[in-house]
Each structure stands twice: as C-alpha cells, then as structure tokens.
Amino acid sequence: MAAVLLVGCGKMGGALLEGWLESGFRANEVTVVEPAANAAAEARQRFGVEVVGGPEQIPARFVPRAVVFAVKPQGMDAIVGEYAPFAGAGATVLSIAAGKSIAYFQRKLGDAAAIVRSMPNTPAAVRRGITVASASALVSEPQRKLCNTLLEAAGEVVWIDDESLLDAVTATSGSGPAYVFLLVESLAHAGAAAGLPADLAQRLARATVTGSAALLDASPDSPETLRRNVTSPGGTTAAALKVLMAEGGMAALMERAVAAAAQRSRELAD
C-alpha cells in the first residue's frame, strides 16, 4: 500500500478513511490533518491513525504518495498552498472538493503538480457511493491507479476525460442524496397531511424509498419500466403521477434544481 495524507476528516473524509482501512491500508500508512480538536480526537479514537493539527506538524519521516483534500471548497484557499512541497516532491493530489478545478490546484500548487479532481457522494459512508474523477495530463498511470484504489474503497468509480462535466456530476450525484432525503421528508409530510400519524408516515416513507432503491438496484429494468409496472391505468398511482408528471411538475423542478447546483459548482471554481 502507499502512504496517504488526508487533509480534513469530516463526514466524507472519515468515510474514505474508513474504507481505506477496511480495504487493507494500515493505520500507520495514513496521516490526517484535522485542525478541529473534536474531529481530530474522534479520528484518533475511531481509526487509530496519526492526526495532526496542521501540515507543519507532519512528521518528517512521513512521505505521502497521495495528498487527499477532503475539506469544504470555501475553506480551500486558506490551506491548499501549504501542501505545495508535497506536490512538488511527487505526491499525487486528489481533491473531492466541489467546484475546485484542476487549473485552480495547479495555480496553488505549481504547474508540475499531478492532480485528480473527483466528486464522490455521501453513500460512500456505507460503501455504496459513486465517484466521478478526472485527471490532469501530468497524472501517470500508476498515480491514476492509486487514486482509483483510494476512491473505490467508498464505492463505484467512473473516470471521464472532460473535466467540465464534473459540475453537472456534482449537481446530479454529488448533491443527489439530499434530493432523495427531501423526497422522504416530503412523502412523510404528505402522508401525515392525508391523515396518517406522523411516526407511521415517516416509517412508510423511509421504507418505501429504501425498498424501491433496493428493487431498482436488483432489477435489470429501467426506472421508467419499473414505474410503469406499478402504475395501473386509472388507478391510484396513475392519479398521483398525473400531478407529479404535469407541466412544471417533478421533472421540471429537478431540472431546475440540478441546473442551479451545477451553476453554483462553476461559481466555486476560483
């Protein structure tokens, strides 16, 4: 395995780290930079890895082959330049920050830095995430394979050549879990409004969405086919879908939502 420096150990960073350790990385192969005292203490206790408060505290003996940035894009400017020496020494830079482009990291870390930009999503916490990644021209095949191994510990990985697509990826799968959780919230609220006790409505909505997701995952059929299979002509489902699929309904709302998220991703680039 390879030494990895993880910058940030919040929800996504922690999910990746847990996946690395479960997939065969040893705790002494990972050093975490986490300035927040509570998060740092939790990472030490939960994962048994070395955790430091800043790059100046990284032991000189630790020479990472990869530096993984798992911090919010809004906080990247304040810290990213401090890791230029690692990039200059040949470490691959792997970012999971929304919006921050390969060109952004090259400006901060140097034109010779080998950079992989990626976008995972929160199902990584249960090893069911999907990540889309794009590599700069300076990333070698071994470096790409290392990044694939790091990302694959959290779920499926897809590589694309056109980095500009990552804004739409962010809006679709990166932010997508929040849309699904909102669906559960909305379905539960609607059930309660129709007369169900709130706790029962919540239980039904949650089980319906997770069960439907499991069915979708297990079935070779398309979502459209599965939808048609549960829609009897003139039945209750058809009555509901008439509302949801009307002009300005769910499809139009989702298109607007994804467009807004993609635009925000582009705004975060610099």
Give tens-digit pLDDT for 30-60.
999 999 999 999 999 999 999 999 999 998 8
pLDDT digits (tens, 9 = 90+) for 210-258: 999 999 999 999 999 999 999 999 999 999 999 999 999 999 999 999 9
Separation between Cα atoms, residue 254 and residue 3, nearest integer Å:
41
**Cα dist from 121 to 26, 59, 171, 178, whole Å:** 24, 31, 11, 10
**Cα dist from 120 to 53, 77, 94, 189, 263, whole Å:** 25, 21, 12, 29, 18
pLDDT of residue 105: 96
Separation between Cα atoms, residue 36 and residue 75, nearest integer Å:
13
| Average pLDDT of the residues in 12-22 | 93
Separation between Cα atoms, residue 241 and residue 219, nearest integer Å:
22
Helix (H, G, I), strand (E, B) or coil at 53: coil
Whether 37 contacts 30, CB under 8 Å: no
Alpha-carbon Rg for the chain in angstroms: 21
pLDDT of residue 145: 97
User: Using 50, 70 and 90 to split pLDDT, how confident is the model at 182?
Assistant: very high
Separation between Cα atoms, residue 13 and residue 67, nearest integer Å:
12
Separation between Cα atoms, residue 239 and residue 129, nearest integer Å:
34
Where along the chain do its domains lie? 4-164, 176-267
pLDDT digits (tens, 9 = 90+) for 97-114: 999 999 999 999 999 999
pLDDT of residue 200: 98
pLDDT of residue 175: 97
The domains spanning 4-164 and 176-267 adopt the same CATH topology? no
pLDDT of residue 269: 80
**Cα dist from 229 to 141, 195, 223, 244, whole Å:** 45, 27, 10, 17
Helix (H, G, I), strand (E, B) or coil at 244: helix
Q: What pTM was estimated for this model as a whole?
A: 0.92
Percent of the chain residues past pLDDT 70, beyond the cut: 99
Q: Which CATH number fits domain 4-164: 3.10.180.10, 3.40.220.10, 3.40.50.720, 3.40.30.10?
A: 3.40.50.720
| Average pLDDT of the residues in 68-89 | 94
**Does the structure show a pLDDT above 80 at 1?**
no
Separation between Cα atoms, residue 89 and residue 216, nearest integer Å:
45
| Average pLDDT of the residues in 19-23 | 92
> What top-level class would CATH report for the domain 176-267?
mainly alpha
Q: How many residues does the chain have?
A: 270
